[in-house]
Amino acid sequence: MSDVHRSIAHVMVLLQRPGDGRVLTVRHQQHSWHSPGLLTIIGGRLEAGEFLDEGAARELAEEVGIRITPNRLDFCQLTHLHAADGERVVGAVFLARSWEGEPYNREPGTHTELAWIDPTSPPEDCHLFTHEILRHFAAGHRYANVVAPELAAGGEAR
């Protein structure tokens, strides 16, 4: 048995700004292998030994410097993501509407900027998964199936 932990669970956090309801996203560097130049919500793979809410809180601290206890995160959506490369991932999405501190880019080697976006009208340069998660969030859906389009030569969606 291997000591390597391979999780099919992803955790994501919608950090929703009070007042205008915008959600924080990060823009990936152009050299990113999974979302070059695109906006994504905060998140990543669950790590060994973590519960979903713990992983979400860790991702928030790692990516944008916001420290929050897991019990302050509200579960808001379960997604089943089907990537074009055949990977199948279950994603737990959490919502945070209050926190202390100011978000900042803690991973400049991975992200170029932070952007607050309207979840009801995500910009065109959002990753497909982010766009769909926000669409379902805005509609109040607690479950979503998301299928990535196949990519043609050159990286364009078919």
Evaluate whether 114 touches 104 at the Cβ level (below 8 Å): yes
In angstroms, the Cα distances linking 2 to 5, 6, 48, 141 are 8, 10, 13, 38
User: Which pLDDT score, from 0 to 100, does residue 32 have?
Assistant: 76
Instruction: Give the chain's domains with CATH numbers.
Output: 9-147 (3.90.79.10)
pTM for the model stands at 0.88
Residue 105's DSSP bridge partners are none
pLDDT per residue as tens digits for the range 101-114:
999 999 999 999 99
User: Which pLDDT score, from 0 to 100, does residue 4 have?
Assistant: 52
